[in-house]
Structure 1
């Protein structure tokens, strides 16, 4: 029997192998550089994730996160876990699906503590596809600060560091000093050889302090100036006793008024609610913080990067301190009861003999919080803006007009006092705001 040979590899085989290798490499690169990664239904992959983001933030973000559990489960890769037809029914009316006895719906409802999901009959399939397109986007990696790259290169050997430049300048200065010394020495030797006289040093006069001590007028002027400087400095120092303007202590949990009152425009009296009705503005309970932070467990990557670069603050770590103090368990989305007190550091502190009522100024006087506390919406770290001295308060009373509209008592007294002071607008001072008993009792 004739022995047959196996067909040797030819160019066609190499071409097919190359094509398979190229296809596999391209697919792997697509996995790394973008795309959704795992399989996503075509209707979702081709949907508009930008519109989906708007819908998600307005309808879903209160209970769901993309990559972490919240009141409801994390939604990323939900298209892997559920069929599209089922998702359409569940999102439009979950309770109806549960009542129909659907096993997946019932299991999900019981697994998440029987928390009812809102119905969204206004959403069509296109809207749901857009939401799912946004949900299925891969988790973004933390952004690298491009501006910090040159500095890192300089320190890591990618460029010339400042220390090297300063070292080179020091060496050049040393070399120039040596050259100047040698030139001077050579010129002196040349003058000596050629009989050229070298100028001798001038005779030394009296030390300047001796000449000053012998001049009685200068001594008198200096003594008077010194006494005035000591008196002025002492007066200024004593007037600052008890004045803590600019005091900005580091709190046990960092709170950024810039982000809360500034970027998110949270009204001051939402947190400091007692300022409307009480003498004190009060420190808000941590439960007020948890109204929002049950859902906000981490900040946006760009906000986190800004906090670390500009202020040296890790916002996500501070949120974890809040959870630890309130006993909030992010895995079960419930309070454990294991709470810890937060030792806040007081910033504004009036003397005991001075009376100040927040409600009288905020509610009755309708004074803006920024009048006394400054532009808090721009503060990363809260500080005492005003000196809070007696003179500062009196000047405010002299300059602030009373708002009498809609107040029958003020309208009556305004008519009498307007005739007395011959003015159209009455200030707090003219209404008795300078009487000692108003603030001291």
Structure 2
């Protein structure tokens, strides 16, 4: 009996150790792949992608195409391997237009193994999901009862009330007829004749109509050219939420003219290609808070950029076949108004969000502010000019601070409400 017990104890210890070793080996592989991802992003991502070609070939599954020993030699000294006449090295070099690959002698064998482990991971398939209007409509349906259902219910209630009134009238008529009652009906003037004879009512009504009509007419005219909330669909979908909010790209990287020019300018597509020459698909997580559409939708929009500039992502070269992009203008001041972006951005030091709102939260760009004269004047009256370490305002601040007896000055105190500043 004791022998059996010892045998069982030994078996349990053996299997526990085996399970521990398997678990540890799995965790070690995961850690290797995680380290490999960091090394890949810092050393390889400039020229390679896991899926899809870039300056170099796609690297997912590269361990299945080449041996680990060959990959170590290639990564540490690709040019030396080519000069040695290695057939595989020469073939890769010629296939990719003899573009030399950087050598990485600083990477250890463990680092290279970690990178290979990362490139050997199976590609995760995206979850099927619909983006855009369909998703928005579904959300609206899930969050509450639709407007059509509410209107239908109200219509049914109204119809029931009308039927009840008709039935009550019919019952009352029968009661009157049965009891032999008579209803005294006095002849009265039509409403319009009674109204015409009452001069006071006529005068009050005319004045009221004039005032109300003027109010609505003035309100209508004041809305002409005021497009607050205007949110047009562009020929190429551009998500400020992803580029500015998630990726942290500075507004003035794309709209560089805002620093030195009257207008902020629409960035040319070569600015887009600075990044999208290598980024040819959307790889963000579909469940992220900054993603409003599907991966396929965003990737298709990137393809529109390639079609416009004539870029072949497979051959990694321009075809020369270009198509103009017909952007829809959103912000448009009247021709008789002068506004200079550089004065507000470079001199005044205003943030873009001051006028354009929380751009980093906008999936589709819209006009945030009314851009009316009253809105501009209110800003000039309420905003203090940034004078610290600002040589542009040093002299005028010195003179006006003595005149007004204050340390802080608004744009209005510096002449920001004079007609000629914006209209000339």
What's the TM-score bracket when you normalise by the shorter of the two chains?
A: 0.7 to 0.9
The answer to whether the 8 A contact 1:279-1:356 is kept is yes
- Verify: 1:419 aligned to 2:402, yes or no: yes
Structure 2 partner of 1:53 = 37
Structure 2 partner of 1:134 = 118
Provide the rounded CA distance (Å) in 2 between the counterparts of 1:359 and 1:423. 27
Provide the rounded CA distance (Å) in 1 between the counterparts of 2:208 and 2:285. 56
Alignment of 1:243-392 (within 5 A): 243-300=226-283, 302-303=285-286, 314-392=297-375
Provide the rounded CA distance (Å) in 1 between the counterparts of 2:274 and 2:285. 23
Change (3 A) 1:201 1:131: farther
The Cα shift of 1:322 comes to: 0.6
The 10-residue stretch of structure 1 (238-247 or 217-226) with the greater mean CA deviation from structure 2: 217-226
The answer to whether the 8 A contact 1:254-1:318 is kept is yes
Provide the rounded CA distance (Å) in 1 between the counterparts of 2:380 and 2:120. 59
Change (3 A) 1:202 1:293: farther
Change (3 A) 1:203 1:313: farther
Question: With structure 1 as the length reference, what TM-score do the two structures score?
Answer: 0.72
Counterpart pick for 1:431 among 414, 421, 424 = 414
The answer to whether the 8 A contact 2:282-2:295 is kept is no
Change (3 A) 1:287 1:309: closer
Q: Runs of 5+ in structure 2 lacking a partner?
A: 1-25
Q: Between Structure 1 and Structure 2, how many residues are aligned?
A: 386
- Verify: 1:73 aligned to 2:73, yes or no: no
Aligned with 2:227: secondary structure? coil
Provide the rounded CA distance (Å) in 2 between the counterparts of 1:199 and 1:314. 77
Structure 2 partner of 1:440 = 423
The Cα shift of 1:53 comes to: 2.4
Provide the rounded CA distance (Å) in 1 between the counterparts of 2:83 and 2:210. 91
Provide the rounded CA distance (Å) in 2 between the counterparts of 1:310 and 1:289. 20
Question: With structure 2 as the length reference, what TM-score do the two structures score?
Answer: 0.75
Alignment of 1:161-172 (within 5 A): none
The answer to whether the 8 A contact 2:129-2:294 is kept is no
Structure 1 partner of 2:377 = 394
Change (3 A) 1:312 1:380: farther
The answer to whether the 8 A contact 2:238-2:363 is kept is yes
Aligned with 1:48: secondary structure? helix
Change (3 A) 1:199 1:46: farther
Residue deviations 1:391-410, cap 9 Å, x none?
A: 22222222222222334563
- Verify: 1:104 aligned to 2:88, yes or no: yes
Residue deviations 1:5-48, cap 9 Å, x none?
A: xxxxxxxxxxxxxxxxxxxxxxxxxxxxxxxxxxxxx9996763
The Cα shift of 1:306 comes to: 8.1
Residue deviations 1:43-90, cap 9 Å, x none?
A: 996763233223223322222121211111111221111010111122
Q: CA RMSD in A?
A: 4.5
